[in-house]
C-alpha cells in the first residue's frame, strides 16, 4: 500500500461564517478507552462529537457550542476517521455541516497517528493500520451505548439503525475497510482515499467516493480504484482543479509555518462547496432515507466529473 502523506494539522476554524438560517452545532468530547490490538496497552480515544444543539445552550467556540444541550429529536450517527498525521478536526466544514443537517458525527483520534504526535506519526503508520478499524468499531459501540445511558447527553438522541462511516485520505481508506468488515454500517463516504488494493471482496453498502483531479499525494487513480471495489449503489466524484489537501479545512501547516496549497488549485472554499454538494445529499438519501435527495447524486455540475450508478447491486 502506498503511504498516506497527509500533512494537514488540526484546523480550529469553523466551516465558514454562520448564516442566520443555520441551526446551531454542539461539540463535546467523549473519551473511550480500548485495548490496542498491536500492543495490548490501553488506547485512549478522546472523541470529538458534533451534534444538533439546542439554541442558547453551550459556550461558543470555533468548533461549535461546547457542551451544549442536544436539540430534541433522534439523529443518525456518522463516524469520521481522520487522515495520516491528521486530526479529528481536520475537516470541520464537513463534520459541522452534517451536524447542522441533523446528524451526530463522532471523530476519534487514531492514537500515535495525529499531527499533534509530530514526526513520530509517520513511523506509526503500520500500527495505525492495524488499529484504525477497531478504533472505529469501538467508538461506534461506545456511541450506541451513550444512546441507552441515562447520564449521557445523547440518551434517546441517536437513531441506532444504519449508522454510517466516513473518512479522509488514510481515513477514507479506513472508512471503506470498516464498511467492508462491519455489517452495521449502512453507508460509507470516502474522501481522497488511497490503498484500494488492500481492500478485500468489496463494499456492498451505498458508497460515495470523492477524489481530486490534481491529487499529488495518492493520485485520483486511487479514487477510481476504490470505486471499482464497490458492489452496491456507488458514486464517484472527481473535483476538477483540486489537490489532496483541498479536502481539509486549511492547507497551511501551522507547525511548519508554510502553505501546502498548490499554486493553480481551486480555492479551499470552492473545493469544499463541491464536496458538500454531493456529500450532504448522499447522507440524506442513504442514511436518513430522504429519497428525493438522491436526485442530486445523478446530476453533474460545473467543476466535477461525476460517475453515478445508483441501482448497482439491485435485484
pLDDT at 130 over 60: yes
- 315 occurs within a structural domain: no
Q: What's this model's pTM, rounded to 2 decimal places?
A: 0.91
- 172 occurs within a structural domain: yes
Percent of the chain exceeding pLDDT 90 equals 81
Contact 164, 78 (CB under 8 A): yes
- 17 occurs within a structural domain: no
Highest mean pLDDT (candidates 110-119, 201-210, 299-308): 299-308
- 66 occurs within a structural domain: yes
> How confident is the model over 131-186, as pLDDT tens digits?
999 999 999 999 999 999 999 999 999 998 989 999 999 999 999 999 999 999 99
For residues 42 and 8, give the distance between their C-alpha atoms in angstroms, rounded to a whole number.
26
- The residue segments making up the domain with residue 186 are 25-309
- 8 occurs within a structural domain: no
pLDDT at 283 over 60: yes
For residues 111 and 35, give the distance between their C-alpha atoms in angstroms, rounded to a whole number.
11
Cα 195 to Cα 158, 219, 220, 292, distances in angstroms: 32, 11, 12, 33
pLDDT at 5 over 70: no
- 10 occurs within a structural domain: no
CATH code (residue 181): 3.40.50.1820
pLDDT at res. 54 = 97
Of the candidates 3, 5, 1, 2, the one whose C-alpha atom is nearest the C-alpha of residue 245 is 5
pLDDT-derived band of residue 123, with 50, 70 and 90 as boundaries?
confident
- 11 occurs within a structural domain: no
- Residue 70 cell numbers, joined: 442536544
> How confident is the model over 198-216, as pLDDT tens digits?
888 789 999 999 999 999 9
> How confident is the model over 233-244, as pLDDT tens digits?
999 999 999 999
pLDDT at res. 315 = 47
- 9 occurs within a structural domain: no
User: How many independent structural domains does the chain possess?
Assistant: 1
pLDDT at 18 over 50: no
pLDDT-derived band of residue 7, with 50, 70 and 90 as boundaries?
very low
Query: Rounded mean pLDDT of 48-56?
Result: 97
Amino acid at each position: 500500500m502506498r503511504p498516506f502523506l497527509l500533512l494537514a494539522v488540526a484546523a480550529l476554524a469553523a466551516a465558514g461564517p454562520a448564516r442566520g438560517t443555520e441551526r446551531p452545532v454542539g461539540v463535546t468530547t467523549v473519551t473511550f478507552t480500548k485495548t490496542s490490538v498491536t500492543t495490548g496497552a490501553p488506547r485512549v480515544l478522546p472523541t470529538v462529537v458534533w451534534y444538533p444543539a439546542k439554541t442558547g445552550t453551550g459556550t461558543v467556540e470555533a468548533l461549535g457550542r461546547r457542551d451544549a444541550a442536544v436539540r430534541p429529536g433522534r439523529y443518525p450517527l456518522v463516524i469520521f476517521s481522520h487522515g495520516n498525521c491528521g486530526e479529528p478536526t481536520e475537516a470541520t466544514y464537513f463534520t459541522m455541516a452534517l451536524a447542522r443537517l441533523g446528524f451526530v458525527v463522532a471523530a476519534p483520534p487514531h492514537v500515535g497517528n495525529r499531527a499533534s504526535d509530530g514526526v513520530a506519526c509517520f513511523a506509526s503508520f503500520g500500527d495505525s493500520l492495524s488499529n484504525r478499524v477497531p478504533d472505529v468499531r469501538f467508538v461506534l459501540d461506545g456511541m450506541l451505548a451513550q444512546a441507552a445511558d441515562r447520564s449521557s447527553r445523547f440518551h434517546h438522541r441517536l437513531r441506532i439503525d444504519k449508522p454510517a462511516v466516513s473518512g479522509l485520505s488514510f481515513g477514507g481508506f479506513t472508512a471503506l475497510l470498516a464498511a467492508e468488515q462491519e455489517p452495521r454500517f449502512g453507508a460509507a463516504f470516502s474522501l481522497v482515499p488511497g490503498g484500494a488494493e488492500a481492500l478485500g471482496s468489496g463494499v456492498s453498502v451505498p458508497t460515495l467516493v470523492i477524489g481530486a483531479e490534481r491529487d499529488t499525494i495518492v493520485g485520483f487513480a486511487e479514487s477510481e480504484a476504490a470505486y471499482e471495489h464497490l458492489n452496491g449503489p456507488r458514486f464517484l466524484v472527481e473535483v476538477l482543479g483540486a489537490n489532496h489537501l483541498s479536502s481539509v479545512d486549511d492547507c497551511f501547516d501551522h507547525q511548519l509555518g508554510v502553505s501546502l496549497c498548490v499554486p493553480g488549485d481551486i480555492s479551499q472554499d470552492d473545493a469544499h462547496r463541491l464536496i458538500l454538494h454531493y456529500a450532504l445529499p448522499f447522507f440524506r438519501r442513504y442514511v436518513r432515507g430522504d429519497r428525493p435527495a438522491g436526485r442530486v447524486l445523478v446530476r453533474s455540475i460545473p467543476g466535477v466529473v461525476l460517475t453515478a450508478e445508483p441501482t448497482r447491486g439491485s435485484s
